[in-house]
Amino acid sequence: MKLMIVDDSSIMRRAIQKYLSPLNLELVATATNGQEALDQFQTTLPDLVTLDITMPQMDGLTCLSRLLALKPSVKVIVISALSDPGTGLKALKLGAKSFLPKPFTETQLVDEIRRVAGGPP
């Protein structure tokens, strides 16, 4: 399964990548904002995307809608410090498969990826 990580924080991108290294995922792209994510998405067509909401140039919710327009089957997990229920609900209504508030543990992220990707628990 091909993975793209989208977050404006290099620390968060590295943490997600490190946490997910034991899983059988191929990291095909990383992006620091929504516009960069769209550009990379069109050339790599990942199956799974972790997506921050608060980013420069294009926010995650706008990016989410555009990613799904390009590939409706993509599974998007929104990961954000905006942990209020309204933000998570909006992301899910727009088509995200999951919402994971920051900070999260390695176990929470791995479990959520497995659940969304349909892998073993």
- State the CATH class of domain 2-115: alpha beta
Q: Residues 45, 88, 54, 121: what is their CA dihedral angle, to the nearest 10 degrees? A: -50
85-120 pLDDT, tens digit per residue, is 788 899 999 999 999 999 999 999 999 999 998 865
- CA–CA separation, 19 and 37 (whole Å): 21
42-83 pLDDT, tens digit per residue, is 999 999 999 999 998 999 999 999 999 999 999 999 998 886
4-50 pLDDT, tens digit per residue, is 999 999 999 999 999 998 898 999 999 999 999 999 999 999 999 99
Burial class (CB in 10 A: 0-12, 13-18, 19+), 93: exposed
How is the chain split into domains, by residue range?
Answer: 2-115
pTM as predicted:
0.94
Q: Which pLDDT does position 24 carry in this prediction?
A: 85
The residue written with tokens 């989410």 in the block is 64
